[in-house]
Structure 1
Amino acid sequence: MGRRLIQLYTGLVLYGVSIALFVRADLGLDPWDVFHQGVSYLLSMKIGQVVILTGVLVLLLWIPLRQRPGLGTISNVIVLGLVADATLAVVSPVTSMTIRITLLISAVVMNALATALYIGAGFGAGPRDGLMTGLHARTGWSVRAIRTCIELSVLLIGWLLGGSIGVGTVFYALAIGPLIQLCLPWFVRLPARPTPA
């Protein structure tokens, strides 16, 4: 249990840091953070505060879907936003394109690693992933179709509110799936195979 908790919170902290690195790279955000950034402009809030607020609101959507949050779900709502804002407070904006590209690549890799860590810990899905799996369970639609619809919706809303779309958005879309697939086996504990008689 202790190792899994360490894994969970390490993953969530790294995820929060990755959000901040995306913002400081200023080359385009992932779909949900385009939304978070757009709402932060609209409400004059810090992006991490919007991440927390959005997580709470998404959790309310779990109720009709009969999804049950776990420790990881609740921790996700709180930790990501706090860490993102704390990281943005200590990492200054940069102008060098080389550094911005480095931050972008680091953010995507860190995001994949963080996702594998907190999923692999097995303490429950994050609020946004739980919304996707809950809709899948209730509607029978494919996970891919639901995820695509949700992410395109938040991307469009975020962009209309002024969120940053760019090469980083495209890079994230292309790289995140393969990177998570690569990282996940490192952190998911599979049941031991029975020894042959």
Structure 2
Amino acid sequence: MTATTAVPAPNLNPLAQLKAGRLTRRLIQLYVGLACYGISFGVMVHSHLGLPPWAVLDYGIAEHLPLTIGQSSIGVAFLVLLMWIPLRQWPGLGTISNALVIGVVLDLTLWALDRPDQLWIRIAFLVFGIVGNGLATAMYIGAQFGAGPRDGLMTGLVRRTGLSVRLIRTTIEVAVLAIGFVLGGIVGLGTVAYALAIGPLAQLFLPHFRVRLDK
């Protein structure tokens, strides 16, 4: 769901992704990772201490439309995929799965869990959510089935414009965060903590989940 500073997987087309070997292991890892992402996302929402920029946008949209946060996340993901067309990018199995699975699992998690009142539990939810998000990100990236919709938007703009990853990433994240905040998304300590921690966490976990592909 979110771009990270982790080393990206090879840029394989959808057919090459399926032919690259270790398919069963990679499929299991992909969907477990996406499910864990949705769960950790939901736990962060219930912390009510701040969300990642894209999640702030999802939350803000859901505040104004008859949508759940998960449905909002799915809708935003497919709108972002439309932006891939002029960038001439092909979505992979992981791209479409990312757009659908995370939102569904997010809504299930929000339905199954109650929002805690005690601050220490909310902080624990935030920490669990951030660490779980980093682990889940490494899992689905390491499965090598293509970038998520939002990741691919960033890499596609970098390739087409020739601008730096840092500039493109920062511009996108700031714009998304600003729009989400105006719409009523939750911005707080968790937003800052996520921004500082997600890259290092994904980089830490990725070597353990990066599946070696057949040559």
Question: Which band: TM-score by shorter chain?
Answer: over 0.9
1:150 aligns with 2:172: yes
Partner of 2:98: 76
| C-alpha separation in 2, matches of 1:59 and 1:19 | 21
What do the CA deviations read for 1:47-105 (whole angstroms, capped 9, x no partner)?
Answer: 00000000110001000000000000000011010000011000011101111000000
Superposition RMSD on alpha carbons, in Å? 1.1
Normalised to the residue count of structure 1, the TM-score between the two structures is 0.95
Partner of 2:122: 100
Partner of 1:130: 152
Normalised to the residue count of structure 2, the TM-score between the two structures is 0.87
Query: C-alpha displacement at 1:45, in angstroms?
Result: 1.3
The alignment-based identity, stated in percent, is: 58
Query: C-alpha displacement at 1:42, in angstroms?
Result: 1.3
| C-alpha separation in 2, matches of 1:154 and 1:19 | 17
| C-alpha separation in 2, matches of 1:183 and 1:167 | 23
5+ unaligned residues in a row in structure 1: which ranges? 193-197
| C-alpha separation in 2, matches of 1:153 and 1:94 | 30
Partner of 1:62: 84
Partner of 1:159: 181
When residues 93 and 191 of structure 1 are mapped into structure 2, their CA distance, relative to the original with a 3 A threshold, is closer
What number of residue pairs does the alignment pair up?
192
SS of equivalent residue, structure 2 residue 184: coil
**Alignment-mate amino acid for residue 179 of structure 1:** L
SS of equivalent residue, structure 1 residue 136: helix
| C-alpha separation in 1, matches of 2:185 and 2:75 | 17
SS of equivalent residue, structure 2 residue 186: coil
